[in-house]
Structure 1
Amino acid sequence: MKTRTRTLTAGTPLRVIVAFTLPLLIGNLFQQVYQFTDAAVVGRMVGVDALAAVGASGSLVFLLIGFTFGASTGLGIPVARAFGAGDMGAMRRHVALGALISVGIAVAITAIGTLLAEAMLVAMQTPPELMADATAFLRITFWAAPITMAFNYLAAVIRALGDSTTPLIFLVVSCVLNVALVVLFIGSFGLGVGGAALATAIAQLTSVIACLVLIALRMPQLRLARSDWRGLPGELGESLRSGMAMGFQMSVIAIGAIVLQYAINGLGSEAVAAVAASMRVDQVAVAPLASFGMALTTFVAQNRGANQLARIRVGVWQVSLLAWGVALLLGALIFFFGTPLVQVFIGDSAPHVVELAHLYLVINAALYPILASLFVLRNAVQGLGSSMVPTLAGFMELAFRAAAALLLVGPLGFVGVALAAPLAWIGALIPVTIAWFSWRSRLLREERCGPMAQADELGALATA
């Protein structure tokens, strides 16, 4: 298999970003498809309560496993910046440092998750009938945390070098294998919801092995020497700040989801099942917006390293326009086709659950343009090297989601649940928007102080 590492510092920004985004989008969609399949198989073969059990544990999975995704993306930013600057020595040192940090994160998540899984579910007042399945699902998921961390980190490093296609190939293989194993473990072996978590772990392990083999055979720039494991002064701090900031950002967001889940649990198992089903549909719908954000992180980081400042501003603006258009289209599709998609998980046996899920989807989909702006601007700021602002945005998201759970669910019931996510997006967008326009002014000042060639490039890009 040939790798496709490339610089994102040349060519029309929108064209380059879209080309880099497409494999990310396909990969995100495949990832959502196998989560979609997990939920459909569990809901149809095991029952609505089993689906609710997976949903009840979802916010805790997001809290710890989501940390691995955020941290991996953050650890890839210094790698992308060094690659954009053409400093291969610094790039390899950041890869090595990121690997060491990843090991520490994986060990901590496994220990915390497996020891506290049941206690956390009890603290969230998970309905008693869901406890056994939710605990089993959580523990297997946390045992597999090192596998998840390894796959996310390897994929982030490969993407940092401008190759979004190779991680896609491995992710597709993982998704197809996962679907087959879920049906086998649940349908044939009767392993229940634990079988779904086990299938995901085995599928991801296959992709981890494939990534390591590819790097050994086809990616010499990522083959690390002994000297690469000793970072220069300041490099460890840079990797730690970037990785831990984005990891904590994801976990802070997840704490808000846990508070909301606590409120949902108080509404009963039907409400829990409705959110579990609607979230699967919602995650598939927003995958294009998330993919634009992921692509922008690498694009901005590489161009910041190469000091191509005009490209950053133009690229963010062009992607913003495209993301808003896609968000409006997605909202319309959800409005018309959301209910049939929810019925894939539940069937016709629980009409009230379907009704609640449709309400959740319609309210969220109507406000997708806000989410599009959040994905674009937050990832652009992260790519520029800012770690504090995205973390602050995470705390704002936590505050707004928790406020909805504590203040709205009581008087409004399930409508308060449906409003929680859009309110959280608005809260997070406030500091991110302020930070982006501050960065934009800074970039303009740096451009004016730079060589005339950069000014010429800015004019050419603005009319591209």
Structure 2
Amino acid sequence: MPEVKTERRAAMQFAKSAYWYFLFWGICSALGTTLSTLIDAILVGNIVGSDGLAVTSIATPVFLVYALLGMTLGVGANVYIGRSLGASDVENANLTFHRVLLVGLAVGLVCLAIVLPFRERMLDFLGAEGDLRPLARQYLTVVFGSAPVFVLYHIMSASVRTDSDPKLAAASSAVVVVVNLTLDIFFMQVLGWGIVGASTALCIAEGLGLVVLLFHFARKSALLKLGLKLPRLEDIERFVTNGFGVGSACIFQAVVMFTFNTLLLATDSEHGVTYVAIFGVIYTMSTIPAAVFDGAGNAISTVVSIFAGERDSESMLVTMRLGLKIVLGGGVLVGLAFVGFAPQLVRFFGISDPAALAAAVPAVRLYTICLLFMGINSLSTAFWQAIGRAKLAGGMSLVRNFALMMVLGWVLIPWLHLTGLSLTYVLAEALCLVGVGVIHLRSGSPTYVEKKYCTAGKSFEKVYAISTESINEVADDLEHVCDEWQIDYKQAFFIHLIAEELILNIIKFGLKDTHKGRSIAIKLMDNQGEVILRIRDNVHTYNPFDSEGDDIDNAVIHLITQKTHYYNYQRKLIFNYLYLIL
């Protein structure tokens, strides 16, 4: 029994390694978007003043609508792309990718065509009145004209992550941050463009970030290829239904921000603009922990969808448990920082008036409590969506990001102003966490995953160190399994040949850094008499089936193609996969 537990822990280490990798780069990518927002808010607050900061708060719903469209389509499509890649169906993955690209492009162009001619009505709708009107018109005109860029950026970023390139997605975010900061200073300080310089800088930076993402598709290792394909109505419905749980949070936040801004302005005519500016600071600060939670959710969505395609239920659940620990710890750490440095953080955004500070600091500290619950709620929604519980994810998003917020906000904000605003967020997240607990007790995800994604037949899986000493152990284990399952001797010989040949060639040609331990996981499955062999290793730079020279004997490759119903060798997540159906 202890030996079996050790083997399972080793097998699950593959899943944990994949999640940590996608988590790190996912957080970097999400923080890039967050930093762009922070940079705009900080520079506008200090250069233009509190009116400019209020305009960026008023404009936030527009960016959230773009995120709604891009993330709903991107996340929804990439759940299916990930499952197709997990099942080694690259053709279907590309078909889905090409369809969602065309939908995203069309949606972005429609937004541009509708919003620009009616921008004055949009300004009325967003509440840009009085002294804020001319500033909002300058800022938002540029933003309205850049709709296709923002929508496509979200779709492309999700697709690049799913195609095992989260580093490039993070690099594109870094480009957005650096370009935005540089152009903000140049346009607003040097050229004196004021607030229009901030929106111009952000839109140019977003466009360059999109260009960076396009470099992924020039790589030989990319499984997804650029292309456009006319979607079917059922495809669009699938994208929206499956992505709504995550993407809808953006539109709900947009409606909530608009409503809360209106309530703050209406309930106190003397201090309303100051309250809106402080709300903008609280919201902008909250994007830092939200970026951590979004990165964790994006990683869950990518990794779990691919494991779902492989029908690896245990790895799916291990990934979720690890994610919950990370978001809980991250929420505590960020919350402590916000509580301890609240005055300094508020001043950093250009709010230095003593009366405004006296109102802002307690509101920030009270809001911080909701960070303890937010990560768990966010991650649960992303996980439900990835495993196919789209209705549950959508319902949670509706209740958490809209229904509770609107009810609590209408009651608490007119009564307690900024304190009521912060309390609204705290109570909404706490009540939703209670709901997550109830759902887990009544119809938990572990039971759902094990029923839907567990392999029906017999299976064997074990992880081995890549070394010459492991070859005998591999041979003994495979021989035992083949005898126990009564596998035909020809198939048994073939299984031995492939596993041993692959290990030998990795040892010979792939282990450039001998100081790092590398592993290979061999899984054998019996699917109603059909024998499936899946081998994955974590050697990053070596593909024995795609290397020049005699790295692997051509006769072995010929044998693989001749003796299998299906053969595929890919790099997915952080592994090389050999997938064979004998």
Deviation for aligned residue 1:178: 0.8
**Distance change in 2, residues 1:383/1:206 (3 Å):** same
Paired residues for 1:96-245 under 5 Å: 96-218=98-220, 220-224=222-226, 229=229, 235=235, 237-243=237-243
**Match in the other structure for 1:297:** 301
Deviation for aligned residue 1:300: 1.4
**Match in the other structure for 2:391:** 388
Paired residues for 1:369-448 under 5 Å: 369-396=372-399, 397-426=401-430, 428-429=432-433, 437-446=443-452
* Separation in 1, partners of 2:406, 2:265: 14
| Equivalent AA in structure 1 for residue 257 of structure 2 | A
Deviation for aligned residue 1:186: 0.8
| Equivalent AA in structure 2 for residue 264 of structure 1 | L
Residues 413-441 of structure 1: CA deviation (Å, up to 9, x unaligned): 21111122233334555665566644332
* Separation in 2, partners of 1:248, 1:10: 32
* Separation in 2, partners of 1:27, 1:102: 20
CA contact (8 A) 1:80 1:298 kept: yes
- TM-score normalised by length of structure 1: 0.88
Richer in strand (by share): 2
CA contact (8 A) 2:54 2:276 kept: yes
* Separation in 1, partners of 2:199, 2:221: 31
**Distance change in 2, residues 1:454/1:291 (3 Å):** farther
Paired residues for 1:40-79 under 5 Å: 40-79=42-81
**Match in the other structure for 2:254:** 254
Query: Which of the residues 353, 356, 366 maps onto 1:353?
Result: 356
Structure 1 range deviating more: 258-267 or 215-224? 215-224
Structure 1 range deviating more: 422-431 or 185-194? 422-431
**Other structure's SS at 1:281 match:** helix
Alignment: residue pair count: 447
Deviation for aligned residue 1:219: 5.0
Query: Which of the residues 459, 463, 468 maps onto 1:453?
Result: 459
| Equivalent AA in structure 2 for residue 441 of structure 1 | T
Residues 297-354 of structure 1: CA deviation (Å, up to 9, x unaligned): 1111111111111111222122212221221111111110122122111153x22323
Percent sequence identity over matched residues? 18
CA contact (8 A) 1:124 1:261 kept: no
Deviation for aligned residue 1:172: 0.7
Deviation for aligned residue 1:199: 0.6
CA contact (8 A) 2:370 2:430 kept: no
**Other structure's SS at 1:295 match:** helix
Q: Does 1:27 align with 2:29?
A: yes
Paired residues for 1:269-288 under 5 Å: 269-288=273-292
**Match in the other structure for 1:264:** 264
**Match in the other structure for 1:4:** none
**Distance change in 2, residues 1:424/1:110 (3 Å):** farther
CA contact (8 A) 1:64 1:113 kept: no
* Separation in 2, partners of 1:189, 1:256: 35
* Separation in 2, partners of 1:433, 1:87: 36
CA contact (8 A) 2:187 2:201 kept: yes
CA contact (8 A) 1:381 1:432 kept: no
* Separation in 1, partners of 2:439, 2:92: 28
Deviation for aligned residue 1:296: 0.6
* Separation in 2, partners of 1:122, 1:235: 35
| Equivalent AA in structure 2 for residue 296 of structure 1 | I
* Separation in 2, partners of 1:186, 1:64: 25
Deviation for aligned residue 1:400: 1.2
Deviation for aligned residue 1:384: 1.3
**Distance change in 2, residues 1:433/1:455 (3 Å):** farther
If asked which structure has higher relative contact order (CA below 8 Å, sep 6+), I would say 1
CA contact (8 A) 1:65 1:145 kept: no
**Match in the other structure for 1:315:** 319
- TM-score normalised by length of structure 2: 0.71
CA contact (8 A) 2:160 2:166 kept: yes
* Separation in 1, partners of 2:69, 2:231: 24
**Other structure's SS at 1:162 match:** coil
**Distance change in 2, residues 1:449/1:22 (3 Å):** closer
**Distance change in 2, residues 1:389/1:433 (3 Å):** farther
**Distance change in 2, residues 1:342/1:218 (3 Å):** farther
| Equivalent AA in structure 2 for residue 79 of structure 1 | I
Structure 1 range deviating more: 234-243 or 50-59? 234-243
Query: Which of the residues 64, 89, 108 maps onto 2:91?
Result: 89
Deviation for aligned residue 1:452: 4.1
Richer in helix (by share): 1
* Long gaps (5+) in structure 2: 1-10, 464-520, 522-582
* Long gaps (5+) in structure 1: 1-8
Deviation for aligned residue 1:407: 1.0
